[in-house]
Chains A and B, each alone.
Chain A
């Protein structure tokens, strides 16, 4: 069956360090993968999109990698700040009509000052 998995345990990290989150998937062949940020009680907000032919993408302090052989994406927050504390969701396209996305369960990040 198709699955997309993120570490369900919260990631506690000290301010200034790099947070690394993992997104693994099985039985998908996505053309692209996305990362979203979600704050408590609010809707997700788009952060980054990486295509299957891209190895790495950066946006300010964020970096995403995409390894289609390992079926894995890594999401890095460098020089983390308390304001980065949130839940981060990965999503991938199903390659089907309707541009439907499948979301992982998210990983909560807590950055301590």
Chain B
């Protein structure tokens, strides 16, 4: 079954804690993206990667970090430097102009 798997579905973070969101794809797509979605707002681009071992900052990269060691995997770490991390996080791949999304991870700071 081809697709993008994000885990966990729900994640709770304590103040000052780093957390890592997982994104795995078996679509064999080169390009992968991380977006953040807040209520009533458009998706905002955090980081993207067009090829293994290379990634670029998006519009709101501060307080986040990523790695792209394998084509299938693009994990996102939300660091303690991100002051307002509560949001819905979406991982996507893109090919021939069309984006494919995972089911998202809802992160809440407690």
Contacts and interface: CB of A to CB of B under 8 A. Distances in A.
Interface residues of A, number: 24
Main SS at interface, chain B:
strand
Interface string B19-44: 00000000000010101000011111
A34 B96 CA distance: 12
Contacts of A4: 42
A49 B42 contact: no
B48 A100 contact: yes
Given A89-B43, A103-B42, A104-B42, A98 B99 contact: no
Contact of B99 (A8, A42, A46, A106): A46
B77 interface: no
Taking residues whose C-beta sits less than 8 angstroms from the other chain, chain B's interface range is 20 to 34
Contact of A105 (B4, B42, B45, B104): B42
A42 B104 contact: yes
B56 interface: yes
Contacts of A82: none
A43 B97 contact: no
B40 A93 contact: no
Given A98-B48, A98-B50, 5 more contacts: A99-B31, A101-B94, A103-B42, A103-B43, A106-B40
Interface of A: 4, 8, 32, 34, 36, 41-46, 49, 89, 91, 93, 98-106
12 contacts: A8-B40, A43-B92, A44-B43, A44-B90, A44-B99, A91-B99, A98-B50, A98-B56, A100-B45, A103-B35, A103-B44, A106-B42
